[in-house]
Chains A and B, each alone.
Chain A
Amino acid sequence: MLTTSLYFIVFGSAMGGRMMEVGGVSYGAFIVPGLVMLSILTESVSNASFGIYMPRWAGTIYELLSAPVSAIEAVAGYVGAAATKSLVIGLVTLATARLFVDYEIQHPLWALAFLVLTCVSFCLLGFLIGVLADSFERLQIVPVMVIMPLTFLGGTFYSLSMLPEFWQKVILFNPIVYLISGFRWSFYGVADVDVGISIAAIIGFLVVCFLAVWWIFKTGYRLKN
């Protein structure tokens, strides 16, 4: 919440006054979906990775491994808990933003769907990181070195159309572009990339992460020695 407020004070107020509207939306309102995404992406990855890394590190994972719980149930439990937390954080961020700028949500159900899908798939990703990491430092690498920069570069604070043509192409390799663009579309009906592609991208990402996590529980890779 504090970070969200800071972002608004710095970007929304300071720059928003000077900057033009983006695609018919005030700059303050324009950055809301991106900021929400930024917070849930980082929260999802770090909560979920921490959530599974801790019991591995402390050894308490033995109980889960010896419990009459299927792989799917274990994933649902860990990822569900982390995703719920990020979803709440996302909603709180949205509410905080409302204190600073007026924004409308044109397609609230789609907005919710994007939020939930993002929380779940990035919690799965976080879970994977937590299983693969072998130190607390490694645990931090992906959220800090990958997710944060990709989110910043993925159109949180600008529309792709503001970039030179060459970079508009390059940036399409950044998967987070699709998330932010789709989410922003559900607010204002404007998007950098087609919404269908956004949805397909996020569902594809979710499926890949889910299969990887399921395989880990099934085989005990890195969980059982």
Chain B
Amino acid sequence: MQPIISIRNVSKTYKGGFTALKSVDLEINRGEIFALLGPNGAGKTTLISIICGIVNPSGGEIIADGHNILTEQRLARKKIGLVPQELHTDAFERVIDTVRFSRGLFGFPRDEAKIEEILRKLSLWEKRNEKIMALSGGMKRRVMIAKALAHEPKILFLDEPSAGVDVELRRDMWEMVRALRESGVTIILTTHYIEEAEEMADRVGVISKGELVLVDEKNSLMKKLGKKQLTLDLQTPLAAIPAGLGDYALELADEGRKLIYSFDTQADDTGIAMLLRRLNEQGVDFKDLNTEQSSLEDIFVSLVSARP
């Protein structure tokens, strides 16, 4: 299937000379939830802003739903909705007016039923006649989502949707994102919260210092990199890994009091049974044992910190 967005070789150097993106290549599949994960300053907002037309790219090409975002701007932009990271709202406007305006700005005919549906879905209907400045931060964020949905985008960008948002809104938002995906909308969200990517995404892209370090299905990413670890609490600390166990992926931790064995959960034979038998033969006793699966967080940290 043709990707809904293809980003080829996109780079961005800001006026001051700072390179925020270095030749990014990325394809977003139709109908998926894609999470762009990366620490602050990685270039997530820059990438999104380029796709949405808010920042000029320094190089590269972007096709959104078959349209080049620069040469077929109008067609491409009509399909894209954006909820920016910062709360930018017209303080003096009424909620309903600003949402209507967004629909009109994107060239869609008036449709009060649609506006009502969106406002209700975001629990804004009761507040529709209030001035935006009278709303709380969470409510303002809802208004910004409503504005982005007002023109029924096929592609929705959510830049740090959970930043500074209360638990309730976060839950609502996740639910809404899933419902939108059900209705065929492709969603790209950026986050530096791993739980969010883990919870929501079909695929994850990890970006660090302007480079896309890795893109993969979330599940296969978890499987591939999500190794399990078996930790043994030893009776007596070891100074070194016993020579007879050199063929196992073993590490000592906690000044030799813990022996850690990493194994692949996908393998036919995890090797645990054999390892335990060999330990017994070597006379290594342990008090306790436990296994844990590394989360996206561990993967993320190891990926990002591995880079200079």
Residues of A within 8 A of B (CB): 55, 58-60, 62-70, 219-220, 224-225
Contacts and interface: CB of A to CB of B under 8 A. Distances in A.
Interface string B65-79: 000000001111110
B1 to A, nearest CB: 25
Contacts of A58: 88-91
B74 A70 contact: yes
A63 B107 CA distance: 13
Given A62-B84, A67-B106, A68-B73, A224 B91 contact: no
B52 interface: yes
B14 interface: yes
A219 B70 CA distance: 11
B79 to A, nearest CB: 9
Nearest to B77: A68
Counting contact residues on chain B (CB < 8 A from A), the size range is: 20 to 34
A219 B56 CA distance: 8
Contacts of A59: 84, 86, 88
8 contacts: A58-B88, A65-B53, A65-B54, A68-B77, A68-B107, A70-B73, A219-B56, A224-B55
B15 A62 contact: no
B89 A60 contact: yes
A102 B114 CA distance: 55
Nearest to B15: A225
Given A68-B74, A68-B107, A225-B14, A62 B88 contact: yes
Contacts of B88: 58-60, 62-63
A3 to B, nearest CB: 25
Contacts of A225: 14-15, 55
A60 B98 CA distance: 11
Given A65-B54, A66-B77, A66-B80, 20 more contacts: A55-B90, A58-B90, A60-B89, A60-B90, A62-B82, A62-B88, A63-B102, A63-B105, A64-B105, A65-B53, A67-B77, A68-B73, A68-B76, A68-B77, A68-B106, A68-B107, A69-B74, A224-B53, A225-B14, A225-B55
A65 to B, nearest CB: 5
B40 to A, nearest CB: 17
Of the candidates B80, B86, B105, B147, the one having the most CB atoms from chain A within 10 angstroms of its own CB is B105
A60 B82 CA distance: 12
A59 B75 CA distance: 24
Interface in B82-105: 82, 84, 86, 88-91, 102, 105
A58 B91 CA distance: 9
A63 B86 CA distance: 12
Contacts of B76: 68
B74 A63 contact: no
Contact of A224 (B56, B73, B75, B89): B56
A224 B89 CA distance: 18
A62 B82 CA distance: 9
A66 B82 CA distance: 8
B105 A67 contact: yes
Contacts of A220: 56
